[in-house]
Amino acid sequence: MAWHYNGGTVKSAVQTDLLAKAITDKRFNASDILGFSVHKENENIDEFLSQQSTPFQRRHGWHEASVRIRVPCATRTFSSEEDAPEFTINSIYHRRLVDVVKGFFYYHS
C-alpha cells in the first residue's frame, strides 16, 4: 500500500492489483528488473519509433482510423452538442475490443 499512496498522484486499485499479480506470478524474476529505469525505457521506445514507419502494423492487429470530436468554443454557446464545432483527429491506431478481450483471457487462462 506504500507504493499505492506514494508520489504526486494516487494509483488506481486496478493498477495496484496488477502490480501485485505481476510480482507474485511464477514467471516473475526480480533480477529481470535490476537497474530498471522508466526514463531509459521511454528513450528506448522513442528510438524504436523513430526507426519504424509505424509500429502499429495491421499484421499485428492494429487498425488506423479517424475520430471526430465536438470541441467547446470559449466565445460562443451552442443550443446542442451537435451544433458545436467538430475537430477531426487522423491516424488514431487502435485494436478491436474483441481482440483485446480474447487476448486478455488467453493470457490469464
Give the pLDDT confidence score for residue 104 in this predicted structure: 75
| 49 Cβ contact partners less than 8 Å away, ≥ 6 residues apart | 55
Q: Is residue 9 assigned to a domain? A: yes
Residue 81 lies in a domain: no
Q: Along the 109 residues of the chain, how does pLDDT read in single tens digits? A: 888 888 777 788 888 899 999 999 999 999 999 999 999 999 998 888 888 777 888 888 889 999 999 998 888 888 888 899 999 999 899 998 888 888 777 766 6
The three cell numbers of residue 7 are: 508520489
**Domain residue limits at 25:** 1-30
Residue whose C-alpha cell is 488514431: 92
Evaluate whether residue 91 is within a structural domain: no
In a domain, 87, yes or no: no
Q: How far apart are CA 33 and CA 19, in angstroms?
A: 13
The reported pLDDT for the residue numbered 102 is 82
Output the pLDDT for position 87.
94
Q: Rounded to an integer, what distance in angstroms lies between the CA atom of residue 40 and that of residue 34?
A: 13
Q: Does some domain include residue 26?
A: yes
For residue 3, tell me if it sits in a domain. Answer: yes
